[in-house]
Amino acid sequence: MHAITACVVAATLLLGAPSDGFEAVVSRVVDGDTIIVLREDGRRLRVRLVNIDAPESRYMGSSQEPWASMAARRLARLAPKGSRVRVRVPAEALDRHGRTLGLVFRGDTNINLELVREGLALPYLVHPAMGMAAEFADACAGARREGRGVFAPERALPEEPARFRLRLGGRAPYWWVGNLRTKRYGPPESFGRHLPEERILFESEEQARAAGYAREE
């Protein structure tokens, strides 16, 4: 996976209300949260599935196998080559790599959400998360409770992808961090105190307050 790191997304993942999006045909699955699609107008786009974070297949010479391959294989079944999908994009549709951010649907299936529901990807929620933070949080909580995918007791993922990237990159988080359950927020160093399904990220303290979150004690 070409990773979304904290520094990559800070200026770009302002995920507002989704547009109607576009229809496309899947050309290739890149990894557990990225596909390449061909639009009806002939444009080929790399789509980063928004609101999720799959285990890393390749990052700074390291990987999170076998979980990365598990996610990629499942995505290839959910969105096989040649299948028609619909991509709904947020208000800010591109990340710094030029990838299109979007919710990917095949028929009635929200593929982003299904990967989280099956425990093959974790939520990565940047306010306002296309208005779907609760759905992704609930899907992850269910996967954790049932021991699915990366939560399987006999083969649990030892480190979530976001923390894996921060550690390898020698970086500290700098998003302000909200807790979806308590509606409180804290400074960037509180990132690791919250489970992925509890955490929503804000660009600034002011944004957290504007979203109705109170500063944690």
User: Which residues are annotated as catalytic?
Assistant: 48, 56, 99
* Residue 163, helix vs strand vs coil: helix
Q: In Å, how far are 36, 40, 51, 112 from 24, measured between CA atoms?
A: 10, 6, 20, 16
Q: Do the beta carbons of residue 88 and residue 20 sit within 8 Å? A: yes
Give the separation between CA 201 and CA 11, rounded to whole angstroms: 12
Tokens 């990237």 correspond to what residue?
165
Please give the distance of CA 51 from its chain centroid, rounded to a whole number: 4
